[in-house]
Amino acid sequence: MRTVGVEEEYLLLDAGGTPVASSGAAIKAITPSPRPPDTAAPSTDGPEVEGELTQQQLESGTRPRTGLDEVLEEVRHARARAQRAAQGGGARIAALGTSPVAVEPTTSPHPRYEELVRRFALTAREQLTCGCHIHVGVESDEEGVQVIDRIGPWLPVLLALSSNSPFWHGADSGYASYRSQVWNRWPSAGPTAQFGSADAYHAAVEDLVATGTILDAGMVYFDARLSARYPTVEIRVADVCLDAEDAVLVAALARGLVDTAADDAAHGRPAPVVRVEQLR
């Protein structure tokens, strides 16, 4: 059974339900907390609670797991830890893809984020969006790229199932997931054409950086990408889900897609050809 991990982004809200720029205070308030009991924990932990591009956000992550009951326990733990951090900064978390009320995002004070705003202007300044990223274990970069080349046609469906962001600047956007519309303003976001091999994938990323299309490899915002930190395919298309159980469902479906695609590749079944324009 392949491992699966979940990273979630949350809004930070004040008592009135308005996003508040308190991520710095929240992170400072983090104290060690016990993990769910597990005698078979892997040696490498995933991220716990971190800041994001804007000060109105926090991100949490789980450790890799195989059992979905374990994944659910991890997601609940990560959310509880993020909530405790938020409370330390005088706020609370909300698992929403976009803010239901109008807000002016505040960029986090970090040189990389400041450079993103300088280079990408309004696209970066307006990125108060919260997604759910699923990491599914793969044996190699080569297997990972074969997976990425095959799961693309299903990722819009995964987005539709997770949609949790109908509002933008206090108005009904008319979309179930307006987060995806805002997120896809980034030059490297969205669906990708088939790469064919790990070498071609890495060459494409290098070209994006070399041409100044993106700031660095961390800006590879493809709907599915090779993780830079873990031996996983990272599926980044989903909105953050309101309920922890729904996040686990998205994780289970993502793992099913990866496992099916890897099996197809191993048996020489060709990747489906679907134009990127149609996926968008």
pLDDT beyond 50 at 97? yes
The pairing of strands 171-172 and 167-168 is antiparallel
**Cα dihedral 171, 177, 179, 183 sign:** negative
Q: Which two tokens stand for residue 193?
A: 């054409």
Please provide residue 53's backbone torsions phi and psi, each rounded to the nearest 5 degrees.
Answer: -55, -40
Average pLDDT rounded to a whole number, residues 100-106: 96
Across the chain, mean pLDDT equals 93
Q: How far apart are CA 51 and CA 32, in angstroms?
A: 17
Q: How far apart are CA 9 and CA 51, in angstroms?
A: 9
Q: How far apart are CA 177 and CA 60, in angstroms?
A: 21
The domains located in the chain, with CATH, are 4-279 (3.30.590.20)
Please provide residue 103's backbone torsions phi and psi, each rounded to the nearest 5 degrees.
Answer: -155, 150
Model confidence band, residue 230 (pLDDT cutoffs 50, 70, 90): very high
Average pLDDT rounded to a whole number, residues 214-238: 96
pLDDT beyond 50 at 40? no
Q: Residue 6 forms beta bridges with which residues?
A: 134
pLDDT beyond 50 at 42? no
Q: Residue 5 forms beta bridges with which residues?
A: 135
Average pLDDT rounded to a whole number, residues 186-192: 97
Model confidence band, residue 32 (pLDDT cutoffs 50, 70, 90): low
pLDDT at 188: 97
Q: What is the dihedral of CA 10, 11, 12, 13, to 10 degrees?
A: -130
Q: How many angstroms from the chain centroid is the CA of residue 169?
A: 22
pLDDT beyond 80 at 138? yes
Of 151, 161, 111, the closest CA to residue 235 belongs to 151
Q: How far apart are CA 72 and CA 278, in angstroms?
A: 33
pLDDT beyond 80 at 96? yes
pLDDT at 48: 82
Report the residue count for the chain.
280
Q: Whole-prediction pTM value?
A: 0.93
Share of the chain above pLDDT 90, in %: 92
Q: What is the DSSP string of 234-270?
A: EEEEEEPPSSHHHHHHHHHHHHHHHHHHHHHHHTTPP
Task: Name, in order, each residue with C-beta under 8 angstroms of 178's C-beta and a sequence gap of 6 or more.
Answer: 97, 98, 165, 166, 167, 168
Average pLDDT rounded to a whole number, residues 113-140: 97
